[in-house]
Each structure stands twice: as structure tokens, then as C-alpha cells.
């Protein structure tokens, strides 16, 4: 007697064949199209690139040598060590941030947070990633946001740690010459409890010179050794300047942004959805946890946030090259595009598979009837 395969198995194979073909055709015919925020992203990228080029030009004017380790010749690479170097930093990570496409990444975060023009945001920067700080400010300009910027001058290795041209000095130059529309609102020393380490007299002279430049500017200089009082003071400033914060951005390892101890966010990087950190609602000053930073304080109230650390992981997430050998062309990165699939293909495949099943069922019924079979179609 000739053996035949069970028609349930036959139909399963037919269905799988149709669906596999549909998946393959869908992927092959997918098209990359400019995303809905392409113009804002490219504008942010343009502003960032121009600002970084201006920083390089200014460094050359000041007689600051462009490091041989700056293989992209951006002028954004700092020194290995200086009087304001606070922590260990990765050379490769620093060079990765010199790509102005990071400005497009920040625009994407603003979109994800549902921000609109003139919405209020708070940005907390250290001097460790000056290129990322500039890209974030460029993105805010392109997006039309109202910002309150708090920055510290302390920086990790290869960050903005030149004592004659700190990140504060960079932003003063960029804003003064029209490359960025905003300056830093509040500046602190950074480092250990946000007040640096002034015990070494050798460093005290250089740091005090920087402090003098800050105090002569329009920025507010903050020096408060008590971390809890420091956070409370900043919260008061924020509630005065941006009472309706819609997004919190932290770039680098600033204690002010991340907090201290077990409540810190050092292990969390990238975009943080609202509600990610559980906690109380708005707390009165005398009940505020002195260990948490500004990001956690606002995020506990449902404000979306982003913590920019672990550059290697973030570059992979956003398909940006790690330690690139060349700066990519504008608009060439995946962040600018969205994939468009032909929706009719999978639906057609499903329809054909059902049609094939119905046809096979009809065939089996006719076959069984003609051969006096008692089998029923049971699929």
C-alpha cells in the first residue's frame, strides 16, 4: 500500500513556505526613507559640526596644540592629565563623540520624549564629553527648546581639561560668536562633591583663575561643599528658570546629575522612560534625599530623561561607528532614516496560504468521496 504524508503536515509545510517567502521578499524590498524629523536632525548636525570646527580654530588662535591622538583633527580632544582632570577616561570613547551625528541622536530623544518647540528642558554637563555637550546644545537650538544648562568644568582624561580653555570657555566663545544660541546658566568646579580638590596648592592657583573667569561672566557660579544643600539650591534655580521641565539630560559623570552612593544612575545609560525609577512625588526641602542627583529627582516625578554614559554601548545602539577613522557624511547614518515595508506582501502570503489550504481540503474531500473513503478533512 502506498504511503502518503498526513495532509495536516502537508498544509503546515505549505504555510511555512508561503510565510518564509513573504518574510524574505518583505526584507529584500524594504526601503530606507528620510525620517519625519530628518530636517531637524540634519540642522542639529550642521550646528554641531560648525561649533566644533570653531572650537578647533579658537584653540589654534590660543596656541593650544591639536593632539596627534586626535586622529580626526577635530580639536575636541583634551589632555591626558591637567589640574582639572577628575577621573579616568577612555581615549576611544572620546574620539567616538566627535561625530556630529550625535546631535541627531539627541533630536531623536527629544522626539521620543514628546517634546515640542519652546518646551523646557534641563541639561547637566560635565567637561568630560565636550563634543557631546555641544551636540546636545546644537540639538536644542535646532529643536527650538528652552533650556537651563548646568555644567561643571572638571573633566576625565582627554575631555575639556585644558585649564586655559575649559568647556565653560568653549561655550562662552561659541555663544559670543553666534555658533550656539545659549550659554551655560550655572557653572561649578565639578569633581569631588562638585567643589574639586583645592587642598593641593599647586592646583589651587589654576583653578582659582578659572573661577575668576566664571565669576566675571553672566553665568552663576555655584560653590557649595554640602551636597544636599547644593542639590536643593539647584532645584530652587530650576523651579525659578524652568518651572515646567519636560526632559532631563545628563552627559558625563557629574555627581550633580547622577547623585552619589547606591541611588546613583552610573549603571544606567541611554534614554530612560518615565516611571523607570520608582519613587515619591515632589518632596519638600527638608525631606529630600541628599544622595540623589537632579536626574533622579525629576525622573521620580515622571519626567523622561537620558543619561549619556558608556559610549561604546550607546554607539552600537544608535549604529554610530566606535572610534571612527573618518567623520561620516551628513545624513548617512541610520538614525536619519526609517524603514518602509510593503505591507501587502505578508497579507498576500497569509491569504494565499489559506487559499491553498481550502483548495487542498476541497481536493481531499473529492478524492475521498470518489474512493469511498470515510476520511474527513480535518485541518
Q: pLDDT tens digits, residue range 209-230?
A: 999 999 999 999 999 999 989 9
Through-space distance between the first and last CA atoms of the chain, rounded to whole angstroms: 24
* Partners of residue 220 on adjacent β-strands: 186
Q: Give the C-alpha separation, 221 to 151, whole Å.
A: 10
Pick the closest to residue 182 from 212, 140, 153 (CA basis). Answer: 140
φ and ψ at residue 112, rounded to 5 degrees? -60, -35
Cα-based distances in Å from 266 to 161, 273, 293, 300, 339: 21, 16, 11, 16, 33
What angle in degrees, to the nearest 10, is found between the helix axes of 167-176 and 38-61? 110
Pick the closest to residue 180 from 140, 207, 225 (CA basis). Answer: 140
Burial (CB count within 10 angstroms: exposed 0-12, middle 13-18, buried 19+), residue 319: exposed
**What is the structure's pLDDT at 287?**
43
φ and ψ at residue 250, rounded to 5 degrees? -120, 130
Q: Under a CB-based contact definition with an 8 Å cutoff, are residues 250 and 258 in contact? A: yes
SS3 (DSSP) at 32: strand
Whether residue 82 is predicted with pLDDT greater than 80 in this model: the reply is yes
Q: Give the C-alpha separation, 325 to 304, whole Å.
A: 34
Whether residue 103 is predicted with pLDDT greater than 70 in this model: the reply is yes
Of 119-133, 158-172, 187-201, 314-328, which range is least confident?
A: 187-201
pLDDT, one tens digit per residue, over 302-320 is 999 999 999 999 999 999 9
Higher pLDDT, 290 or 39: 39
Per-residue buried b or exposed e for 233-248, using 16+ beta carbons within 10 Å of the residue's own CB: ebbebbeebbeebbbb
Q: Average pLDDT, stretch 167-196?
A: 95
Amino acid at each position: 500500500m502506498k504511503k502518503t504524508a498526513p495532509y495536516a503536515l502537508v498544509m503546515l509545510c505549505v504555510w511555512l513556505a508561503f510565510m518564509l517567502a513573504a518574510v524574505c521578499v518583505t526584507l529584500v524590498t524594504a526601503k530606507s526613507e528620510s525620517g519625519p524629523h530628518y530636517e531637524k536632525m540634519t540642522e542639529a548636525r550642521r550646528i554641531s559640526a560648525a561649533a566644533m570646527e570653531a572650537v578647533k580654530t579658537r584653540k589654534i588662535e590660543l596656541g593650544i596644540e591639536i593632539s596627534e591622538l586626535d586622529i580626526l583633527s577635530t580639536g575636541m580632544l583634551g589632555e591626558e592629565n591637567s589640574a582639572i582632570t577628575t577621573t579616568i577616561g577612555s581615549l576611544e570613547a572620546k574620539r567616538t563623540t566627535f561625530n556630529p551625528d550625535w546631535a541627531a541622536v539627541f533630536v531623536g530623544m527629544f522626539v521620543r520624549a514628546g517634546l515640542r518647540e519652546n518646551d523646557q528642558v534641563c541639561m547637566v554637563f560635565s567637561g568630560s564629553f565636550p563634543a557631546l555637550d555641544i551636540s546636545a546644545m546644537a540639538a536644542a537650538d535646532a529643536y527650538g527648546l528652552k533650556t537651563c544648562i548646568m555644567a561643571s568644568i572638571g573633566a576625565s582624561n582627554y575631555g575639556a581639561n585644558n585649564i586655559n580653555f575649559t568647556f565653560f570657555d568653549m561655550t562662552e566663545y561659541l555663544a559670543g560668536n553666534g555658533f550656539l544660541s545659549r550659554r551655560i546658566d550655572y557653572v561649578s568646579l565639578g569633581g569631588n562633591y562638585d567643589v574639586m580638590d583645592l587642598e593641593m596648592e599647586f592646583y589651587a592657583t589654576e583653578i582659582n583663575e578659572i573661577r575668576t573667569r566664571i565669576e566675571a561672566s553672566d553665568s552663576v557660579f555655584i560653590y557649595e561643599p554640602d551636597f544636599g544643600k547644593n542639590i536643593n539650591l539647584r532645584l530652587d534655580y530650576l523651579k525659578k528658570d524652568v518651572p515646567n521641565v519636560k526632559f532631563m539630560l545628563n552627559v558625563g559623570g557629574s555627581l550633580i546629575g547622577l547623585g552619589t552612593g547606591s541611588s546613583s544612575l552610573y549603571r544606567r545609560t541611554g534614554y530612560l522612560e518615565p516611571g523607570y525609577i520608582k519613587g515619591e512625588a515632589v518632596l519638600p526641602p527638608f525631606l529630600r534625599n541628599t544622595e540623589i542627583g537632579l536626574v533622579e529627582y525629576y525622573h521620580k516625578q515622571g519626567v523622561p530623561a537620558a543619561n549619556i554614559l558608556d559610549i561604546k554601548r550607546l554607539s552600537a545602539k544608535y549604529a554610530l561607528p566606535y572610534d571612527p577613522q573618518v567623520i561620516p557624511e551628513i545624513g548617512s547614518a541610520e538614525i536619519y532614516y526609517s524603514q518602509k515595508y510593503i505591507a501587502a506582501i505578508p497579507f498576500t502570503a497569509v491569504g494565499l496560504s489559506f487559499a491553498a489550504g481550502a483548495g487542498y481540503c476541497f481536493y481531499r474531500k473529492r478524492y475521498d468521496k470518489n474512493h469511498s473513503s470515510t476520511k474527513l478533512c480535518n485541518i
